[in-house]
Structure formats: structure tokens, C-alpha cells
Amino acid sequence: MNREIHLTSRPVGEPRPEDFELVSAALPEPAEGQVLVRNTWMSVDPYMLDRMREEETYLPRFQLGAPMEGSAIGEAVASRSADVPVGAAVVHFLGWREYAAVDAADVTVADLSLAPAEAWLGALGTTGLTAYAALTQVAPVREGDVVFVSAAAGAVGSIAGQLARKLGASRVIGSAGGPVKAGRLVHDFGYDAAIDYRAGSLAKQLADAAPDGIDVYVDHVGGDHLVAAIDALRHGGRIAMVGAISSYYATEPVPGPSNLFALAAKDATLRGMLINSYFHLFPEWIGKAAGWLADGSLHTELTVAEGIDQAPAAFLDMMRGGNVGKMLVKL
């Protein structure tokens, strides 16, 4: 038998545990050109919330009463494709289940000699690629820049701060919720300064950390973080809009920042990004990141939930900021 997580109702505002159901189903049989994968790790990510809701987004909605989807890695235990041998470690998009029959064209064979399986869903996956694309393509870091990253202890943020330094930033500032996470930004992830956004005025803390302003902002939060970053932005500054955690549970349209037009006077840019547009950078990123992981100059951390039955709780915990680094489910 196979165990799967199904979406049973579409959340309004914050999702609830009862929106998900653990279902037992027959083990899938691979068709010609497919492989049967025993999933060993799966990812939970903020974008999945959009796919749960009623409104259409840039990806198709999850179907009610059907298995959800997401990045996973596992072992090919049966194969009807000459391109993917039995025993290969493969990355694919049919997570939220213990076994998946996947078209061979839709899997990527992962080289576990470069990094362990879980790293292919984190630093070597779209998590790391997001940080790389944000800081090299969307809001490129230049030598001597001051860089600010919100949600800096999260999956992308914990990599982005270290990457900014490798790209030539002179000072890297991160924000996180609570003193423990803020402390870890400096001690574990190489940030020069950490802002605990719960500890007082975000704008004042950012001004204290960057008295001469910032050049680059990687935005995962929106809201007051984006307002403060626009105010702090120097002439010619760049903002990469990656996420907007502050408005994920809003049930009404959220107003934009009141100081948006300040970007014009600063000759600055704010640019959104979808990681799908940067998949062509994967070989370049993996070539760099695998070496940094091997020599220890890129520090990553995981928050791990055990078992397919814990996947909904892991998703809800991640959305509430309960993770440091990448949140994964070990199957």
C-alpha cells in the first residue's frame, strides 16, 4: 500500500489540520516510460498555499480528494525507462506520498557523491537557486554593497546572506523573529547584523544597522519590511521580491507600500521573480554550491519532521516560522 496526503478542503486564511487527510491507496504501477520512486524526502514550501486556495495562480490548483504535489527525492525501485536505472536517486515533483509513478522525462538523476539526498531539495534545489537568481539576476549584488535580507533564518534567507558575501557585499543584515533566530543569523549564517523585528521599530533597527542605507534588499515578507527597505534604499538600489509572508493569510486585498514612489526619486528597481524562469541556471548554481558545501564555506541547516503523516503539521509549522533553514519531511 501507498500512503498519500490529500487536500480535503480549500483554506480561507490560515490552513487548518483538518484541511488535509492521510489516505492509503494501492501501490502505483509504472507505465511504459515511467519509474516507480520510493520517496525518502519531501519538501514543504510557502508557494503551496496558493495552490490550495480557490483562486487560480501561476501553478494549477491542487485537486480536492487527490494527492498533493511538491518537490521530493527518492530511489527508483522499478523502471520502465532505459534512461533511469533501478537504484538511481531521482528528484521529481510528486511528493506528499510515499511512492510515486513518475514519467522518466520529469525526473532528474541526483549525484549523491556531490551531496546527500536531502541537500538536493535545499541548497542544491530551488531553495538555493532562488537565492542565487535573486542576487545575481533580479537584484544583482555589486562589490561593496550593503545587503538586507528578510526572513533571513529561513530556507532561502539562510543561504542568501552567505551568498551575498561571496558576491562581494561589504555588509549583510538580516531580519528574523525572536532573539534566538536573530542570534543564529550572526553566529551560524555569517550575517554582520541581525534585526529581531519583534523587538521594536523595524525601521529604526535597520537604520542603526545600516546608517548609510542599503543597496540590495531580498524581500520575503512584504509589509513593514518592504516599507522600511524602500526608505533605507540608496540611489540605484535594487529589490528582489521573492515572497510576502506578511500577507499570506490575508482574506482581503493588501495595500501596497505607501512610499512606493520613492523608488523613482532613488532611480531604484523593485522586481518580482518566479523561480521557474531561472531553471536554466541550475547547472551553474550546482557547480558552485556543491563545492561550497563540500569545503564547508556554505552552511546549511534543516528542520526535519519524521513520517508522511507529519507532512501537514510540518507545512503549518513552516508557515508560522517554526523552521531554521529548510523544512523537510523524512519519509
pLDDT at 250 over 90: no
The three-point CA angle 317-194-183 to 5° equals: 65
pLDDT in tens, 175-226: 999 999 999 999 999 999 999 999 999 999 999 999 999 999 999 999 999 9
pLDDT at 253 over 90: no
Gap between the Cα atoms of 288 and 106, Å rounded: 24
pLDDT at 255 over 90: no
In a domain, 132, yes or no: yes
Are 29 and 80 within one domain? yes
pLDDT band at 310, cuts 50/70/90?
very high
Are 155 and 267 within one domain? yes
In a domain, 286, yes or no: no
Are 144 and 245 within one domain? yes
Q: Which domain holds residue 174?
A: 126-276
Are 269 and 307 within one domain? no
Q: Are the beta carbons of 77 and 86 closer than 8 angstroms?
A: yes
Q: How far is CA 291 from the centre of its chain?
A: 21
Q: What integer pLDDT is reported at residue 87 of this predicted model? A: 98
Q: What integer pLDDT is reported at residue 254 of this predicted model? A: 85
Q: Which of 276, 291, 310 is where one domain is finished?
A: 276
In a domain, 283, yes or no: no
* Sequence-ordered alpha helix ranges (H) in the chain: 48-52, 126-133, 157-166, 179-188, 202-209, 223-232, 262-265, 282-295, 311-319
Who wins on pLDDT, 267 or 254? 267
In a domain, 289, yes or no: no
Q: Are the beta carbons of 103 and 125 closer than 8 angstroms?
A: no
Any idea of the CA torsion for 67, 11, 150, 94, to the nearest 10 degrees? 10
Q: How far apart are the first and last CA of the chain?
A: 14
pLDDT band at 33, cuts 50/70/90?
very high
In a domain, 287, yes or no: no
Gap between the Cα atoms of 107 and 119, Å rounded: 16
Gap between the Cα atoms of 264 and 149, Å rounded: 22
Gap between the Cα atoms of 158 and 302, Å rounded: 11
In a domain, 17, yes or no: yes
Gap between the Cα atoms of 308 and 314, Å rounded: 10
Are 61 and 143 within one domain? no
pLDDT in tens, 259-303: 999 999 999 999 999 999 999 999 999 999 999 999 999 999 999
The domain tally of the chain equals: 2
Q: Are the beta carbons of 269 and 139 closer than 8 angstroms?
A: yes
In a domain, 292, yes or no: no
Residue 37 belongs to domain with CATH number: 3.90.180.10
Are 27 and 152 within one domain? no
Are 130 and 31 within one domain? no
Instruction: Please give the backbone phi and psi of residue 176, each rounded to the nearest 5 degrees, phi first.
Output: -155, 165
Are 107 and 181 within one domain? no
Are 163 and 233 within one domain? yes
Query: Could you tell me how many residues make up the chain?
Result: 331
Are 177 and 47 within one domain? no
Q: Are the beta carbons of 223 and 137 closer than 8 angstroms?
A: no
In a domain, 249, yes or no: yes
Are 141 and 67 within one domain? no
Residue 178 belongs to domain with CATH number: 3.40.50.720
Are 55 and 70 within one domain? yes
pLDDT in tens, 82-140: 999 999 999 999 999 999 999 999 999 999 999 999 999 999 999 999 999 999 999 99
pLDDT in tens, 225-247: 999 999 999 999 999 999 999 98
Using CB atoms within 10 A of its CB, is residue 236 exposed (0-12), middle (13-18) or buried (19+)?
exposed
pLDDT at 10 over 90: yes
Rounded to two decimals, the pTM is 0.95
pLDDT at 77 over 90: yes
Gap between the Cα atoms of 62 and 60, Å rounded: 7
pLDDT in tens, 137-158: 999 999 999 999 999 999 999 9
